[in-house]
């Protein structure tokens, strides 16, 4: 049998085995292996040692993502949903929305000034609209800090030699790339925003079960990977002997 066909069959069986095993672990709440792993000492996802709130920065943004204040978190997620609906379903564009907002602002000021001139003897003086410079500086610093922290995290994963963490990050990036090929950039940003406001709070609530499940899943993946490598090595050695 050709080597490519052997690899394809083994990969298919490996993936189906992992999916079946993962589904059984998730749907079965009485799995002895999962219960023992939860009761015992389990490895934290990404080697986590600190609480999820601390990993997310420990500030107001972490409070929003972990739903410490449900009103604020719900408002942020609802606003993002409205913006996504405007762009995706109503086919608005960013320049269109900006222009409409400026027109509405100018119209409001125009009516206010003209009404004040007719019904008031003293001239009205509107406050000047200006965004402080430090706002832009803080945004740039925060954005740059998050980008650098993300790059440092990816580099640490690549250089740590931890196969489980490496495979998890690569798999996440691959899934993101696949989703990006299905959707436009706005939808991908929205999906990431929704995930950022749902996955951390779910992980914080069910961290032990998720950590244990991922540990078992990676063990299954690593076992199948070694089986695939051993069978391919045996096939190569058999082919060389036949030559």
Is residue 111 within 8 A of residue 126, CB to CB? The reply is: no
Is residue 124 within 8 A of residue 113, CB to CB? The reply is: yes
For 161, list phi and psi in degrees, rounded to 5: 80, 5
Instruction: Quote the DSSP letter at residue 48.
Output: -
Mean pLDDT of each 10-residue bin along the chain, 243 residues long = 49 52 47 43 58 72 82 90 86 83 90 80 75 88 87 89 82 84 84 87 83 80 80 72 58
Distance, in Å, from the CA atom of 243 to the CA atom of 240, rounded to the nearest integer, reads 5
Instruction: Quote the DSSP letter at residue 67.
Output: T
| Token output for 119 | 């019904």
> Which is nearest to 89 in space by CA: 79, 99, 98, 81?
81
> Which is nearest to 197 in space by CA: 10, 68, 93?
68
- Quote the pLDDT of residue 46: 54
- Quote the pLDDT of residue 40: 41
Spell 15-34 as b/e; 16+ CB within 10 A means b: eeebeebbeebeeeeebeeb
Distance, in Å, from the CA atom of 221 to the CA atom of 214, rounded to the nearest integer, reads 10
> Which is nearest to 114 in space by CA: 129, 103, 106?
106
pTM: 0.54
For 121, list phi and psi in degrees, rounded to 5: -80, -35
Q: CB neighbours (10 Å) of residue 58?
A: 12
CA distances from 64 to 118, 195, 197 (A): 46, 13, 8
CA distances from 45 to 2, 36, 135, 216, 224 (A): 38, 18, 35, 12, 21
| Token output for 192 | 């990431």
């Amino acid at each position: 049998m050709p080597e490519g066909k052997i690899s394809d069959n083994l990969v298919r069986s490996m993936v189906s085995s992992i999916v079946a095993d993962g589904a059984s672990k998730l749907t079965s709440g009485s799995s002895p292996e999962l219960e023992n792993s939860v009761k015992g000492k389990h490895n934290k996802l990404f080697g986590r040692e600190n609480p999820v709130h601390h990993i997310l920065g420990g500030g107001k943004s972490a409070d929003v993502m972990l739903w410490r204040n449900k009103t604020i978190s719900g408002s942020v997620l609802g606003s993002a949903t409205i913006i996504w609906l405007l762009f995706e379903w109503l086919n608005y564009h960013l320049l269109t929305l900006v222009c409409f907002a400026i027109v509405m602002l100018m119209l409001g000021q125009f009516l206010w000034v003209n009404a004040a001139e007719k019904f008031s003897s003293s001239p009205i003086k509107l406050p000047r609209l200006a965004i402080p410079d430090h706002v832009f500086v803080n945004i740039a610093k925060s954005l740059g800090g998050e980008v650098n922290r993300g790059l440092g995290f990816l580099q640490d994963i690549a250089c740590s030699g931890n196969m489980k963490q490496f495979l998890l990050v690569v798999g996440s990036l691959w899934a993101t790339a696949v989703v990006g090929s299905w959707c436009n950039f706005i939808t991908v940003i929205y999906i990431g925003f929704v995930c950022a406001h749902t996955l951390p709070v779910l992980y914080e609530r069910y961290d032990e079960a998720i950590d244990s499940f991922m540990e078992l899943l990676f063990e299954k993946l690593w076992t199948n990977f070694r089986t695939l490598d051993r069978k391919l090595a045996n096939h190569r050695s058999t082919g060389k002997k036949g030559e």
